[in-house]
Amino acid sequence: MHRNTTAAFDEFVRVHGDSLIRLAYVLCGDRGRAEDATQEALTRLFLRWARIDDPLPYARRCVVNATNDQGRRSGRRERRELLAAQRQPPELPAFVDDQVVDRDRLVRALRRLPHGQRAVIVLRYWHQLPEPEIASILGNSVGTVKSQASRALARLRAELQSDLIPVNPREYR
């Protein structure tokens, strides 16, 4: 292994490691799983490190895929936990303003989106990436990215406007 390659990779992780784990965290909603997904993504990245020109989009793609793989593996158990969590009212301290409550609801609504839509929303509006780059990361067309973003925003808005969180038991069986 060339020392400079190692140093460049280490520097990449130092600079972008936090951003990648945050991406994983907002996609999977669990700190431990976010760490596992990021570790897996970095391992995949290092395997291809010398062959890719721009490592950041590739690393993001690895993170998105790793969180998606985790979601598939955890399957029903995760959905049951999610359903249980949705039935519980959020635990809030005594002094919390409406803005905090709305943001909490927004994050929970985001987590109920399908993984693809969630990834589009996070990459488009949080990482502020252009649609072609998101399409490249997710392996979709630009049109798919646009439609997923539009559907996801509509769903978020609808969920925020309703006081009750809609739960379809069939969806979580």
Partner 1 sequence: MNETRLIEELRAALDEEAGAVRAPAGAAGRARAGARRRRLAHGLAAGVPAAGLTAGLAVGLVIALGGSHSPAGHPAGPAGQRTSVTAGASARQTPVLTVAYVTGRARAALDSASGSIVMTSAHGYVEWSDPATAAGRIDVLGPGGRVAASEGVTYSGHTRQLIYVDDKTRTWWQLTSRVSGLPVKPAPAGVLPVTGNSASGQVTILGHRKLDGKDTILVQYGPPKGFKPTAYVSWPTERVWLDATTYLPVRIKIFGTGTVGSEQNLAYLPATPPNLAKLTVTPPAGFKQVPPPPFRGDGRPGLGQIPFSG
Cα–Cα distance between 78 and 55 in angstroms, integer? 31
Q: Does 69 bind partner 1 (CB under 8 A)?
A: no
Looking at residue 36, its amino acid is D
Site for partner 1 in 73-102 (CB under 8 A): 93, 95, 97-99, 102
Q: Does 160 bind partner 1 (CB under 8 A)?
A: yes
Site string for partner 1, 98-127 (x = CB under 8 A): xx--xxx-xx--x----------xx--xx-
Q: How far is the CB of 102 from partner 1 (least distance, A)?
A: 7
Find the binder of partner 1 among 86, 153, 155, 172 (CB under 8 A): 153
Q: Which is nearer to partner 1, 138 or 152 (CB)?
A: 152
Cα–Cα distance between 28 and 72 in angstroms, integer? 11
Distance from chain centroid for Cα 168: 23
Q: Which is nearer to partner 1, 24 or 173 (CB)?
A: 24
Looking at residue 38, its amino acid is T
The Cα-based distances of 57 to 42, 49, 127 in angstroms read 12, 12, 11
Task: Decide: 63 and 23 in contact? Cβ < 8 Å.
Answer: yes
Place of tokens 């979580």: 172
Find the binder of partner 1 among 28, 37, 45, 64 (CB under 8 A): 45
Nearest CA to 159 out of 98, 90, 111, 93 is that of: 111
What are the residues binding partner 1 (CB under 8 A)?
1-2, 4-15, 17-22, 25-26, 31, 34-36, 38-40, 42-47, 49-50, 55, 93, 95, 97-99, 102-104, 106-107, 110, 121-122, 125-126, 128, 153, 156-157, 160-161
